Structure 1
Amino acid sequence: MNIEKTKQILQELPSHVELIAVSKTRTKEEVDEAYRLGCRTFGENKVQELVAKYDPKYTWHLIGHLQRNKVKDAVKYADMIESLDSMRLAQEIEKQCAKIDKVMPVLVEVNISQEENKTGIAYEECINFIKECQQFPHLDIQGLMCVGPLTDNQADIEACFESMHTLFQEAQEAFGPSIHILSMGMSDDYELAIKHGSTMVRLGTILFGKRDYTI
């Protein structure tokens, strides 16, 4: 855990930007330590990790691609699903949430960089997708999420973030104040994301240190 860096980020983040501490592959002990330092919301990529670490004192976001066969468990434990990326997934979330009478806050994931290996709704389809999702009473679409392009070219990253912010503004114009979250920016690019209007950043490595995927 990068204790001093975590404290610094928590202190320096603008008041309108929420920090999601990305705890994938981390232990429950590391999550507890982050909470003691001031982190309150944690992001998990996999449903099974979320279930294993779940603590009702903390707020949990599912930020990774969600398979439909995992939705039943996801809606029980997640406080928000940031990765709504298809109508079939929206239908399954609605179905499972209806069973437990839960309204699920969600973000629509947009493939803003148009990379083939990334999930997400296409830019030009996003507004219509949100309109279609209005039919589901157990989905509360609160905003948009994206992953920046995998590049060291700052101009390309900024261009994607600016396009995302434009789309966010279009969604706000179309759907009003219910759209209030723009989740973009990770450890390597969160400062650029905030510059371009992000209201939520997802930070892992910069808080916890590099991951050891061999464990």
Structure 2
Amino acid sequence: VQEMLPTLRRFRDEVLRCGYLKALAERLQVGEEAVMMEFRKFQQSPAWNERSGENKTPQVSVPANITSAEWQILKLMLDDNGWIIAARQSLETGDFQHAGGRMIVEKIFDHYDRYQRIQPAVLLAECEEEQTRQFLTALLVDDENAAGDKQKLFQDCLQRLKADRRKGRRQELLKAISQAEQKGDWTALQNLQEEFTQLTKTS
């Protein structure tokens, strides 16, 4: 419990905070009141007071190297179940180049399959790895919502993800083609060149 409570410093939304505590109690198979008692103790500790002043804004640390398109699609899915359905129809987890992004989208899909809706607090409480909790927390506390047509935003981000994946695959193929040439593996070389040509046509 102690290692998970610091996450709550980041939340100004009391509904999300309470939901997280409830989900945490269920996950640990302990009484909700016991978790609340630990939380109240933590609120009175220096660790809470040093970082949770009323005038302080929780710092959002966007993971390094994640693209804006990946970040925005993850935020959309956490905000609305409809975007999860749209993403399942249009995306593969492999479309996310960022390893952390792939992990989060896998967890979102799995969570939706089990509950048929997104429950951010429960999803967060189910994350065992600290790095994953930090990633998900950053998404949840990032309240900078993109203005405008969200359908267009989703489609634009989707196209960007697909284009980035094709670009990455082309780079992999060029490297593999070079290696096949050096080894004199002409069968592999032909297959790789055919895939590269086909991929270029669809770009």
TM-score strictly above 0.5: no
TM range (shorter): under 0.3
TM-score (ref. length: structure 1): 0.22
Please report the TM-score for the alignment, with normalisation by the length of structure 2: 0.23
Query: Which one has the bigger helix percentage?
Result: 2
